[in-house]
Chains A and B, each alone.
Chain A
């Protein structure tokens, strides 16, 4: 077993269809049914790693798809627990308050009420938990730090009863001044979200709302300013947005007969949840079993524990399964993406080359840390973009506020800062008389070239210029445009995972079927389909005889997490290795059982090669096992240890690179945007399942249009979110999809995952805002630096005092 894995590149058979992966909706790639691959594999297997690949690289139908289209897929809220009690939460209608008294007497006497729990009923001090800081209390302990923070929980026989009783819990509170935006949080003398006495004495930021800071610097941006021919300086803002999974958050906690807990939660990181519950409750890991039903959309919002510890306490107190399913409105209050303000100062030489880039990034992270300090470290790491820049300074701060805590959200801190950097590239181009494509062609790094310099240099791990050129070609860059239209183009990168362990077990059964145990949460990305494809090819199993088991920490081996687009690479390699482990074991036992020297045998995908010729792996396995039968078990491990001293804890296993180009028409009367064409080109390494790649990139593109065009959480003066729920918080609908949406995946088989694959799925929203902003400014002749680009904002820009097409906002320093 490799301890420190250097991912091996196994090239995919070059039989793929090289055409664009999608086009107009009617010209759609279609999935394939499930053929029996066994014979094909035997026929195709010539002892080459490439020969047997039939399922990998094909648009195999989604594993578990039938249950999803028939309504039989059991999501968390669909599970039936006969003896379950219902839980309702008590919250306050303000963003910050001191709780002086909670009177539960009236509520406790309501029909059907089993118990009412407040912080006073918990172990003291009230247990706190969290990934980077153990700061989130199980229930609000004397103070409420954001609108929606639970202060009490009611357990009753039915939900209606719990809900009714929750309204009768009498909370006496004093509203106190909170900070709800960056200006308030960073103002001198601002109320502090966190009591300084709770922070380390040597924390230089303890008397401010800055929880964490990061700085990346090479060259000298101050000195370089004099070398630049053009300097542009601007401030950009990115709104607070919410994940809006179609499945609201829910959790069920069940006490077990042995004093342990079963926790049902549609989480991305079941093993993190298991550890959190064990620690908060004080149970051995073996007494905590997490069942993770497939998340109904997650996007980063279902990674970290939030309400599960509370439900665990409720289950232990009542001795009953306790069930909580939030409304969509409550789900919005649980987590969100950090808002961000970036002040950028960028210098160019007269030929368009970047001379320096200086960024100050302030992220509004909310009341508790969650994983925000990681977001505000990892996003700005690539804040300067995939460019060749001799002098860079990127400073980032995680700023606390009395708002819902922010967490991971597709793109992980990159979209916020990419919005600024990409807009700056355009600002420079306008000043230099270059177009948006030219300035990127001029500065984008080539394969192997550094975009992050210093002792922990990071270099381009793909041929990114190919993506840029392909996007330009697909959008029709340079072709004449009808009136009121503009084109924009932008690029961005995101670091993949830098460390961690993924393990898999595969059982090859005596009838040729197989079971793969892989802890990746399948939240829509289709991970299980890939494992099914890998097994089909590597073991020669028919696709429909492969079963995937996940979402149960009781029987599935450890996987660090489902995030950072890591699963294809990490778990994919683990599954691949487990399959190869099985082939080795079959070969060894076959030699032992038949007396044929092992040196005379070899194995290949789906086959054992003997001196007499090839036989299917299944036939070899049966012969090897003999008349009493049995099965083979293979194990695979993928692990990266990280690198000491590295600002991210290690080098990224891969980078997601994307280029997005948009053609937009602006209605000058109303400010409305009509997107005629949206092109997204991602550097994907290899498409293990082409239609899943297309679907991921289309989904990310549209999600990117959400924060670019319409989405934003709005708060009132009390920190109360004004637009909770689907009616008031707009996400893209069918009618917001661009007239033409084209995604394209560049395949150079240069990734560290199975068959040269890379992680995908986040790339296509990294620079959506930059591309749209670029297109809109091309159309109206004026840049807009605040998102989202609502009709109101576009109209206001067009009609502001002194507005004139081509007016340059940028301050010429020299």
Chain B
């Protein structure tokens, strides 16, 4: 880690860490207090607010992002730990796709999986991670893989359907 330490006026006396990493394909740099989570750095330092905050303790999955292709709860890792790594957030997932939506995001809408939408970015990221590791997941495998993402509105069935629809689309591609 190439973190340098400087004192900032708005700190409560602690030092800050300079971080350089790749976010959605672009190289970015930011300075944060050492205790700042990746979730907060994405939301408040980079203003990528598609990554959501709910429980902030790794139980709900609303803050799910990819780090080097692996889905993680961004509330459970420090921003400083992102140094040199490759981050993909919900904003980057559909980038360059027609209408800005990838096939999975499209499927969420087709299946009626979206109600309030607050959990949805995290759901989409976890679902994408599942489909990249298992192209044709069974309903049981979907329920297992997605069990770290809470939804309070829609009762999960539509999300399972969205993942199945996407798997079929990708198989026929």
Contact of B112 among A75, A247, A294, A695 (CB under 8 A): A695
Q: Are B100 and A70 in contact (CB under 8 A)?
A: yes
Chain A binding surface SS class: loop
Contact of A245 among B10, B89, B94, B152 (CB under 8 A): B152
Q: Are A328 and B54 in contact (CB under 8 A)?
A: yes
Chain B binding surface SS class: loop
Measured CB to CB, the nearest residue on chain A to B14 is A160
Q: Are A699 and B33 in contact (CB under 8 A)?
A: no
CB of B119 to closest CB in A, whole Å:
5
Supposing A30-B165, A161-B10, A246-B118 touch, asked if A726 and B147 sit within 8 A by C-beta, the answer is no
Q: Which residues of B contact A328 (CB under 8 A)?
A: 54-56, 60
**Residue of A70, A247, A733 contacting most chain B CB atoms (<10 Å):** A70
CB of B144 to closest CB in A, whole Å:
7
Q: Which residues of B contact A695 (CB under 8 A)?
A: 112-113, 115, 153-155, 158
Q: Are B109 and A69 in contact (CB under 8 A)?
A: yes
Give chain A interface residues in 733-775, CB to chain B under 8 Å.
733-735, 737, 741
Q: Are A26 and B161 in contact (CB under 8 A)?
A: yes
Q: Does A130 contact B (CB under 8 A)?
A: no
Q: Which residues of B contact A735 (CB under 8 A)?
A: 143-144, 147
Q: Are A69 and B115 in contact (CB under 8 A)?
A: no
Q: Are A25 and B147 in contact (CB under 8 A)?
A: no
Q: Are B110 and A246 in contact (CB under 8 A)?
A: no
Q: Are A78 and B108 in contact (CB under 8 A)?
A: no
For the complex, give the distance between the alpha carbons of A747 and B56 in Å. 43
Interface membership of chain B positions 53-72, coded 1 if the CB is closer than 8 angstroms to chain A and 0 otherwise: 11111011010000000000
Q: Are B105 and A74 in contact (CB under 8 A)?
A: no
Measured CB to CB, the nearest residue on chain B to A694 is B112
Give chain A interface residues in 71-87, CB to chain B under 8 Å.
71-75, 77-78, 80
Q: Are A731 and B54 in contact (CB under 8 A)?
A: no
Q: Are B101 and A69 in contact (CB under 8 A)?
A: yes
Q: Are B150 and A733 in contact (CB under 8 A)?
A: yes
For the complex, give the distance between the alpha carbons of A698 and B155 in Å. 5
Q: Does A807 contact B (CB under 8 A)?
A: no
Interface membership of chain A positions 338-356, coded 1 if the CB is closer than 8 angstroms to chain B and 0 otherwise: 0000000000000000000
Contact of A737 among B113, B124, B155 (CB under 8 A): B155
Measured CB to CB, the nearest residue on chain A to B53 is A77
Q: Does A424 contact B (CB under 8 A)?
A: no
Supposing A31-B109, A31-B110, A65-B109 touch, asked if A246 and B150 sit within 8 A by C-beta, the answer is yes
Q: Does A630 contact B (CB under 8 A)?
A: no
Size category, A interface: 35 or more
Q: Are A30 and B115 in contact (CB under 8 A)?
A: no
For the complex, give the distance between the alpha carbons of A593 and B151 in Å. 55
For the complex, give the distance between the alpha carbons of A523 and B115 in Å. 7
Q: Are B10 and A157 in contact (CB under 8 A)?
A: yes
Supposing A25-B164, A28-B161, A112-B10 touch, asked if A525 and B115 sit within 8 A by C-beta, the answer is yes
Q: Does B91 contact A (CB under 8 A)?
A: yes
Q: Are B115 and A726 in contact (CB under 8 A)?
A: no
Q: Are B111 and A30 in contact (CB under 8 A)?
A: yes
For the complex, give the distance between the alpha carbons of A77 and B44 in Å. 10
For the complex, give the distance between the alpha carbons of A78 and B60 in Å. 18
Q: Which residues of B contact A164 (CB under 8 A)?
A: 12
Give chain B interface residues in 130-165, CB to chain A under 8 Å.
139, 142-144, 146-161, 164-165
19 further A-B pairs in the complex, CB-CB below 8 A; given A298-B116, A524-B115: A25-B157, A25-B160, A28-B112, A28-B165, A29-B112, A62-B109, A69-B117, A70-B90, A70-B94, A71-B51, A75-B118, A111-B13, A164-B12, A246-B116, A246-B150, A246-B152, A297-B153, A727-B57, A734-B146
Q: Which 7 A-B pairs have the closest CB atoms?
A: A71-B50, A296-B118, A68-B117, A524-B116, A524-B115, A71-B90, A698-B155
**Could you write out 19 A-B pairs with CB less than 8 Å apart?**
A24-B139, A25-B161, A30-B111, A61-B110, A69-B108, A69-B117, A70-B90, A75-B49, A160-B33, A245-B116, A246-B150, A297-B153, A524-B117, A695-B112, A726-B54, A732-B156, A734-B142, A734-B156, A737-B156
Binding site for B on A (CB under 8 A): 22, 24-26, 28-31, 59, 61-62, 64-75, 77-78, 80, 110-112, 157-158, 160-161, 164, 243-248, 294-299, 325, 327-328, 523-526, 691-692, 694-696, 698-703, 725-727, 731-735, 737, 741
